[in-house]
Structure 1
Amino acid sequence: MPGNTYTVQNDHLSVTVQAKGAELMSLYNKKQQLEYMWNGDPAFWGKHSPVLFPVIGTLKNNTYYYNNKAYHLGRHGFARDMDFTVAEQTTSSLGFSLLSNADTLQKFPFEFVFDIIYLLQQDRLTVTYRVRNTGNGDMYFSVGGHPAFKVPVVEGTGYDDHYLEFNKTENAVRWPISPEGLIETRAEPFLAGTNKLPLRKELFYRDALVFKNLRSDAVRLLASKHDKGIEFNFPGFPYLGIWAAKDAGFVCIEPWCGIADPVTSSQQLTEKEGINRLAPGSVFERSWGVGMSE
């Protein structure tokens, strides 16, 4: 694996994270002898599980305004491309930190400490995002995950043999994404009285499936031809994206505290949909988790 990587493991799982972006690279089930993370094949999509901070998705014209000044940020922000420091390493956890600096302040005028903690407990991995406002004024930000799980996970099965099963019945619309990466103003009917979403590669030919305020806070990735799979929990995340690169062998389950700009965005950061406001000295924390079907 490229770059500096760190591994934590127990009798059930082995987890590997690289310092660049504090990105989860491998989630290996020892008992099943199966890798659950996408391999990062650059022919389709060269990442595994990037963190999205301090914005999620695309800003209108890659620009936002704060205190009458324009700032420019690319898709999903800068954290995924920055080197984190290892803040803590125990027999069951890995902790990584990113601190604001002169470069980040040019693009995002807030002082912060951003921690990502990976914790192993039996056959479960919990990933925690912790944002601390170390500045003197309110901080406005988004944060989210983008983990890509391998589909199919078991050789000899196909992509279409898999499905997502939400923990509650949903009547949910999807919010289409414009060619510029912005959220369209009109939603489309999608999940109608069901908790099951069959996977097929054509689902993602129009970019991600974007949902707002689902009833569910967990979803399982399962297959019809075997009993191997995962349960993904995302309590406290008001938005969920589901995505795969065109014809690629994975599915991303993306819990978001924040969302891309709508096509009608004012570009004012304080007015941005889903933005989180954090008072000086305060801490914002959210966790998602993934467990295994043994």
Structure 2
Amino acid sequence: MISLHSNDLTVKINEKGAELTSVNDATEKIEYIWQADPMFWAHHAPILFPIVGRLQDNQYTLDGETFHMTQHGFARDYTFKVLDHDDSKAVFQLLADDDMKAQFPFEFDLQVTFTLTDHTLDVSYHVLNLDDKTMPFSIGGHPGFNVPLNPYEGGFEDYAVTVAPRRSYAQIPLVGPYNDADHEKTLNLTTPLQLDHDLFNQDALILDLNHVETTIMLSSTVSDHGVALTVENAPYVGIWSPYPKRAPFVAIEPWWGITDSVNTTGDFRQKMGIQTIQPNAEFSADYQIRFF
């Protein structure tokens, strides 16, 4: 386990999956990150790579071959190498091996950097295509946050999601685990969205951000504490809590990719939301979480 420290927070990251597992404010006695109770969801904040969401039949085709991969890809299942580490920064690396290439036939170098400054954690993804062919892929974050942050400071329904810019957003509905972008909805977020477990009765709320800088804040009417996640260039963000379980957490998920469409052809290069990197080129993306 790798630890980062500021005057305010202690952050812990597991080498397995380079997964953020704890952000703790000892003075305020607050743990911000969901603690992976398997009754609800046995993860904290997995990295989604090289897909976001689910493939139809857990498979895809690429240049005439069929490959199999389960939901959210495989990065979360592998141990990353620690390239650099001090009190405020840690860099993790995952290189393709034969097992990975059986699911995703590319040479790649995935690096994830965590940088802690005061109350803010920056999470940066850096993907290098080491192959001699164009690499299609997706990547995303999936941090879960305790709601409520303290059991004596209200309950789930005392929290709200506030999105800036305050406007109406295109919402991509889900049919089962797949997106139905052809029947896009509109979600009015000019005012805060009060949390209720029934909000998630069709799984995640997926907002089309159109690469516009966006901040999604979780805050409470009975507490001064919360989190605000800012992403500058993501096409999508998912807001999720398990349903019908009444789970005491909410995930805010910046995505550079999306689950398969209901009408997908299965061709990975034509997949909705897919990113591409030319040979020996790089892709970078990041987001920041402010804890208050």
After superposition, the C-alpha distances for 1:159-200 in whole angstroms (9 at most, x for unaligned) are 100001111122124222222x11124435442261421111
Q: 1:146 aligns with which of 142, 147, 150?
A: 142
Q: Distance in 2 between matches of 1:108 and 1:193?
A: 38
Matched residue type, 2:219: L
Matched residue type, 1:140: P
Matched residue type, 1:272: K
Residue in structure 1 matched with residue 277 of structure 2 by the alignment:
278
TM-score using structure 1 length: 0.94
Helix, strand or coil at the partner of 2:175: coil
Q: 1:23 aligns with which of 14, 19, 25?
A: 19
Matched, 1:244 2:246: no
Identity of aligned residues (%): 34
Residue in structure 1 matched with residue 69 of structure 2 by the alignment:
73
> Are the aligned partners of 1:52 and 1:143 in contact in 2 as well (CA < 8 Å)?
yes
Residue in structure 2 matched with residue 104 of structure 1 by the alignment:
100
Q: 1:218 aligns with which of 215, 218, 229?
A: 215
Residue in structure 2 matched with residue 232 of structure 1 by the alignment:
229
Matched residue type, 1:66: L
Matched residue type, 2:69: L
State how 1:84-123 maps to structure 2 within 5 Å: 84-123=80-119
Matched, 1:33 2:29: yes
Matched residue type, 1:91: D
Matched residue type, 1:142: S
Residue in structure 1 matched with residue 168 of structure 2 by the alignment:
171
After superposition, the C-alpha distances for 1:191-234 in whole angstroms (9 at most, x for unaligned) are 22614211111111221111212655111111011211111101
Residue in structure 2 matched with residue 83 of structure 1 by the alignment:
79
After superposition, the C-alpha distances for 1:37-75 in whole angstroms (9 at most, x for unaligned) are 011100111100010000000111111111111111110
Distance apart, 1:16 and its partner CA: 0.3
Q: Distance in 2 between matches of 1:288 and 1:262?
A: 25
Q: Distance in 2 between matches of 1:117 and 1:216?
A: 20
Root-mean-square deviation over aligned CA pairs: 1.4
* Misfit runs of 4+, over 3 Å: 185-190
Moved more, 245-254 or 215-224: 215-224
Helix, strand or coil at the partner of 1:169: coil
Residue in structure 2 matched with residue 292 of structure 1 by the alignment:
291
Structure 2 stretches lacking a partner, 5+ long: none
Q: How many residues align?
A: 288
Matched, 1:60 2:56: yes
After superposition, the C-alpha distances for 1:123-171 in whole angstroms (9 at most, x for unaligned) are 1100111101111111110000000000001222111000011111221
> Are the aligned partners of 1:167 and 1:195 in contact in 2 as well (CA < 8 Å)?
no
Q: Distance in 1 between matches of 2:181 and 2:22?
A: 37
> Are the aligned partners of 1:168 and 1:195 in contact in 2 as well (CA < 8 Å)?
no
Matched, 1:253 2:252: yes
Structure 1 stretches lacking a partner, 5+ long: none
- Cα 1:279/1:185, change in 2 over 3 Å: closer
Q: 1:44 aligns with which of 40, 47, 51?
A: 40
TM-score using structure 2 length: 0.95
Helix, strand or coil at the partner of 1:194: coil
Residue in structure 2 matched with residue 160 of structure 1 by the alignment:
157
